Amino acid sequence: MGAGGRMTEKEREKQELLGRTGVGAAFQRSPTDKPPFTLGQIKMAIPPHCFQRSLVKSSSYLVHDLVIVAALLYAALVWIPALPSMLQLGAWPLYWVAQGCVMFGVWVIAHECGHHAFSDYPLLDDIVGLVLHSWLLVPYFSRKHSHRRHHSNTGSLERDEVFVPRPKEALPWYTPYIHDNPVVRVVLIMVQLTLGWYMYLSLNTWGRPYPRFACHFDPYSPIYNDRERPQIFISDVGVLAVSFAMLDFVSTFGFWWMMRVYGAPLMIVNAWLVLVTYLHHTHPALPHYDSTEWDWLRGALATMDRDYGILNRVFHNITDTHILHHLFSNIPHYHAMEATKAIKPILGEYYQIDRTPLAKATWREAKECLYIVREDSKGIFWYSNKF
């Protein structure tokens, strides 16, 4: 494998294959054999300083994002209302998108707190994560614990927590009649991007099946064990406190004012969260494993790095260093690019990245990754869309 940013001919062919679209595209599937390397060997390839967390450096990124959030908020409160009405029609959507993207960067930092990648102090990480995620109406500890289980069981059909694919027979009866309808596909994508995050939190939609109703806001949900339940209460209190503060703003300034200033950017945050997660774990080249084949390392490698262009930096590179994140989730984001570069020669064909433009990739995955099928007699499953 090439190093220092160079790609071999094999890598270039792989990139071309991963960039193709359409039914029957010749994707180069990720290897499913046991890797010829260990997690320890991967770790040895990473410079030791990449594992070091700096409270000062982590805080600087957080302050940087919050300053931009404050500046954009000031623009929304002072500058945009002073514009002529016609210009406001264009300025508000620009504010929503810009603010939503920066707020998602804050979301990523809160997510790092849940992985103890913000500082060397677990309690501080939890306090910062709780405040930031509550501000974004996310139950911090609830998501932290379910997300940890996702990292522990990535690629497992029985135990993974989110975007668990279904076999063909589990699809609704009407799926064959609508799966190739572009209008229906647009509607489903829009529902997923607008309501998907809260559907997952509240109803466990797209989540792992549980023997009874599962909800991230319920301390007695089967998602959690007895030791975790008190923290779920704390998460709910955090979300409720912010919700009541928002209601107070609504009563003072009005519902639509609140939607313009906070609600619309939050919808952008949630859309990015769903899309980023979906595209990391949904791709025709990625396998899923049942209990006869799954092991942690192969599951962690069954993810896809994606290229979001300039947004890679805005999102603190959670987009294009996701494989590393699944291997070593305690590495801070500001070391992730260096660490990813270091492990590529070790991973070889097991490293997957797709640079297909986001809209094109989202449309393709929604069209082609409908259900999973077993190949041969092994417990290895691949996406398909044939009816």
Nearest Cα neighbor of 223 from 200, 242, 198, 197 is 200
Q: Residue 331 region, left (φ>0) first, then alpha (ψ -120 to 50), else beta?
A: beta
DSSP 3-state assignment of 354?
A: strand
Give the pLDDT confidence score for residue 5 in this predicted structure.
38
Which residues on adjacent β-strands are paired with residue 371?
384
Contact 113, 126 (CB under 8 A): yes
Strands 288-289 and 305-306: unpaired
From first to last of its 387 residues, what are the pLDDT tens digits of the chain? 333 333 444 444 444 444 443 334 456 899 999 999 999 999 999 999 999 999 999 999 999 999 999 999 999 999 999 999 999 999 999 999 999 999 999 999 999 999 999 999 999 999 999 999 999 999 999 999 999 999 999 999 999 999 899 999 999 998 988 888 999 999 999 999 999 999 999 999 989 999 999 999 999 999 999 999 999 999 999 999 999 999 999 999 999 999 999 999 999 999 999 999 999 999 999 999 999 999 999 999 999 999 999 999 999 999 999 999 999 999 999 999 999 999 999 999 999 999 999 999 999 999 999 999 998 778 999 999 998
Give the pLDDT confidence score for residue 176 in this predicted structure.
86
Give the pLDDT confidence score for residue 378 in this predicted structure.
86
pTM metric for this prediction: 0.92
Span 361-370, pLDDT tens digits: 999 999 999 9
What H or E segment, with its residue span, contains residue 299? helix 296-301
Contact 276, 319 (CB under 8 A): yes
Cα 121 from chain centroid (whole Å): 25
The domain limits of the chain are 45-384
The answer for residues whose C-beta is within 8 angstroms of residue 58's C-beta and 6 or more apart is 109, 112, 117, 118, 119, 332, 334
Location of structure tokens 């931009």: 68
Largest CA distance in the chain: 67
